[in-house]
A and B are shown apart, each in its own frame.
Chain A
Amino acid sequence: MELRTAQALIRFGLGRRGSEPLPADPARWLLEQLQQPDPAHLDPQPSTATAAAAFLADRANKPKPEESQVRALFRSDVKAELENALTTPAPFRERLVWFWTNHFTVSVRGGIAAGACAYIEEAIRPHVTGRFEDMLLAVMHHPTMLFYLNNVGSVGPDSIAGRDGKRGLNENLARECLELHTVSPAAGYTQADVTNFAKILTGWSVAIRGEPPGFQFHPRAHEPGEQVLMAHTFPAGEEGGLAALHFLANHPSTHRFLATKLVRYFVADDPPDMAVRRMEGVLRDSGGNLAAAAEALVTLDVAWEPASKLRTPQDFVIAALRALDLPDEELATVPLQAILAGQGQAFQAAPQPNGWPDRANDWAAPEAMMRRIDWAYAVSGRVGTRDVAELAAANLGPLLRDDTLQAVRRAGSRRDAMTLLFSAPEFQRR
């Protein structure tokens, strides 16, 4: 295996699955994934319609936790998402889905379990090779985000619904949209900007009993009058919000912020300036075209330098299970979400709206590394009759170090050998 092939599989992809065929031209293999439709086939397909039905059923029936439809739906949705990650032939595309899902974090810790995966399928996945502005609009219209960051009940103080003084503004979504999703604090906005943007977004809510259930703009809750956001004036009404999001999506600070995050994710914890400037230029010149941005990442030389990123727990668990390539019936018995929870990174469960961190220091605490090793040992019990030395070479190619291979060969059991491979430093990297 060529080094670039290994890098394509590990840095841009999710790790080689078993002994799947190697791409002849690694860069072309990555670019083709961007050009072709997403092959994801989730079973069941998460959707806002099923999420709303489960949510309403629970609200009506007040079930015990073990009989909750929301809980059952979340479990089956997460399983479908993770099994797709384990089997997809387009792992670069899936990694982009992971990146953007984390950029626009929603979390079950905010009580949105029913729609946590519908959100990925409806707001994120369809746009990972589209325009950033369209993804932002999809996110800001999505029921899961509107619930998660509390915009559903935000009412303009001078709106018809707000005049009796009983309900009013909630600035959570407006603040996080500025800080985490678009321009970032580097843009220098003020509290007044946050408040005004919250006013612009009043009335952006959810019709949970709609047919189909989804976004609904409530004119009665919308704050009347023009609003000034970052020295630009936006009209009242739903179109004011659309115009503000258009402005934010295409703001130079947004391009800078996204470029930095992309380079940190695909290149190094400390993003090299030149790479950030290049990505910033691509985002600006393409009008926020995310396929163009992903292509540009593939053509960055620094993105092909090996082993600069530590795998997050999610990366590590998925890569190990792809390497093992368990038969379907055995994979069905692997408690994927419980494993990720034990590793400190349960799917769609980030502690805060800024999502999971993306630097080695955030994940390399001693106890965290010990948990990786312990889980590696646990899952290596499933090694069966595989030749681990062969598997190691097939999985890591030229990245496999001699002393790891020697340790694998000398191990007293297949299970120990597999544990050594999964615990080796080169397997902790992407």
Chain B
Amino acid sequence: MLQLTRRGALLGLTSAFALGRASLALAAAATEQRFIVVILRGALDGMSAVVPHGDPALAELRGELVPDGLLDLGGFYGLHPSLANLHAMYQAGELLPVHAVAGPTRVRSHFEAQDCLESGADHRMTSGWLNRAVAAMPAAASGRPEGDALAIGVSVPLLLRGSATVGNWAPHGVISPSPDLYTQIAALNQADKITGPAIAEGLRERGFTGAVLADDSEQPAGNRYAFPALARAAGEMLRAADGPRIAAAEIGGWDTHVAQVPRLTRVLKDLDAGLAALKDGLGPAWQQTAVLVMTEFGRTARINGTKGTDHGTATVAFVLGGAVAGGRVAADWPGLGSGKLLENRDLQPTRDLRAVAKGLLAQHLGLGAEALATVFPDSARVQPMAGLIRT
């Protein structure tokens, strides 16, 4: 039997699909503004996505890594040709690439750097900065029973873990037990401190999103279209009047040590299609939306021995959305010439990613200085970046 509630139908969940490399988490909050963070796991080569082709040292350092057919970003920079949808947003004044940024730490370990990026601190914390931002906002006014938060994706990233309740949703499609059996299972687990709350919350989310699909789908992982599909679903949920307002998504496949040109093209196309699907899903709510796309660090300025790049430092971040003051590249460009690289290998960071995040939380979600100090502890010297949001 096929049951679709209003929200299920809204999401167009007519078939189940595998998550592959991407997953997504959402949180509700008392605001009309939408805020989405996309984590690119594995370290995006910023100088391939937003290419500083006006820097005279670029060609010698990178050779064949520099793509042909760049989409112009005002002369000095060019956007990777796979990012056509982002370029259209740039031309519409909705895309703001921020270059030569880096997270809170100077480590070249993916795992340590991702943890710090999501913690919003120079050490690993047990909660993420986006969760603390949700906690710092006034209580949710959504139409949901508990009025707090919802998550999408099989797991919740560290970025959204913490004291603010974050639900959890992912497309699913197996034959499900009857409501009565679910109730008995919840009762058996009620007293268990790990499975009890998780099952209670999972059931609540199923009631909320409601798509119980009779579809025998034991599908393998690895659907590379998963990110666009999830992004569209996220957009549609965030668009709803009683839907969540905060979301986090992640997409892997950026660790391009070898044969970077074809590998990066694939994942950039996925990202580009996903961000366009997100905009599409949001519909008119796009005008109240800001998206931050960030990665744990950049990659070496020089091409390595296997037509790829190794772990580096500074990279690019994207701020986009109808609310964003875009149509330009924000950067204090450090240069690539002799003596300008960090440790003679990496793009020198000239801006802390926390400045970008703080600017968005302040200007887009209205968080004050005190709240920002809780969200990003021990970061008083990192001032919020100005001028990110249209006024």
Contact = CB atoms under 8 A, between A and B. Distances in A.
Interface stretch (B135-143, B194-202, B314-322, B354-362): B194-202
A370 B169 CA distance: 10
A187 B204 CA distance: 45
A407 B188 CA distance: 8
A307 B276 CA distance: 46
B194 A154 contact: no
Given A170-B306, A416-B181, A338 B156 contact: no
B220 interface: yes
Given A341-B221, A420-B188, A423-B189, A378 B175 contact: yes
Interface in A138-193: 149-150, 153-155, 157, 162, 167-172, 175, 179, 185, 191
B184 A420 contact: yes
B252 A367 contact: no
A365 B308 contact: no
A425 B219 contact: no
A155 B307 CA distance: 12
Nearest to B150: A366
A374 B176 contact: yes
Interface in A341-362: 341-342, 344, 346, 349, 351-354, 360-362
Interface of B: 18-19, 21, 41-42, 107-112, 151, 153-156, 161, 167-170, 172, 174-177, 181-182, 184-185, 187-189, 192, 194-196, 198-199, 201-206, 217-222, 252-253, 255, 257-258, 304-306, 308, 310-311, 343
5 contacts: A352-B110, A364-B195, A365-B154, A377-B176, A416-B181
Contacts of A351: 21, 41, 252
Nearest to B192: A425
A404 B204 CA distance: 23
Contact of A167 (B110, B181, B198, B305): B305
Interface in A398-430: 403-404, 407, 411, 416, 419-420, 423-425, 428
A157 B83 CA distance: 34
Given A170-B304, A346-B220, A360-B194, A366 B151 contact: yes
Contact of A367 (B41, B161, B169, B177): B169
Given A170-B257, A172-B257, A373-B177, 8 more contacts: A169-B304, A179-B111, A342-B18, A352-B110, A361-B161, A367-B205, A370-B199, A407-B187
A319 interface: no
Contacts of B194: 310, 360, 364, 425, 428
A200 interface: no
Contacts of A168: 304-306
Contact of A341 (B18, B185, B188): B18
A362 B155 contact: yes
Contact of A338 (B181, B220, B304): B220
B109 A365 contact: no
A344 B155 contact: yes
Contacts of A428: 194-195
B220 A191 contact: no
B195 A338 contact: no
A373 B343 contact: no
A59 interface: no
A406 B205 CA distance: 28
B177 A191 contact: no
Nearest to A360: B194
Contact of A419 (B185, B203, B205, B257): B185
B42 A352 contact: yes
A162 B185 contact: no
Given A371-B154, A377-B177, A150 B257 contact: yes
Given A168-B304, A368-B198, A339 B184 contact: no
Contacts of A185: 107, 109, 112
A162 B305 contact: yes
A217 interface: no
A161 B202 CA distance: 56
B155 A370 contact: no
Contacts of B112: 185
A78 to B, nearest CB: 11
A369 B154 CA distance: 9
Contact of A153 (B196, B205, B305): B305
Contacts of A167: 305-306
Contact of B170 (A337, A367, A423): A367
B304 A374 contact: no
Nearest to B110: A352
Contacts of A378: 174-175
A375 interface: yes
A423 B188 contact: yes
Contacts of A150: 257-258, 306, 308
A374 B195 contact: no
Given A367-B154, A367-B168, A373-B199, A109 B252 contact: yes
A339 B198 CA distance: 21
A362 B202 CA distance: 15
A327 interface: no
B220 A370 contact: no
Contact of B185 (A175, A335, A337, A420): A420
Contacts of B177: 373-374, 377, 416, 419
A421 B384 CA distance: 53
A367 B189 contact: no
A364 B198 contact: yes
A65 to B, nearest CB: 11
B56 to A, nearest CB: 19
Nearest to A374: B174
A194 interface: yes
Interface string A106-141: 000100000000000000000000000000000000
A341 B306 CA distance: 31
B80 to A, nearest CB: 22
Nearest to B156: A365
B39 to A, nearest CB: 12
Please name the 7 residue pairs, one residue from A and one from B, whose CB atoms are nearest each other, closest first: A168-B305, A366-B202, A370-B202, A153-B306, A425-B192, A366-B201, A338-B218
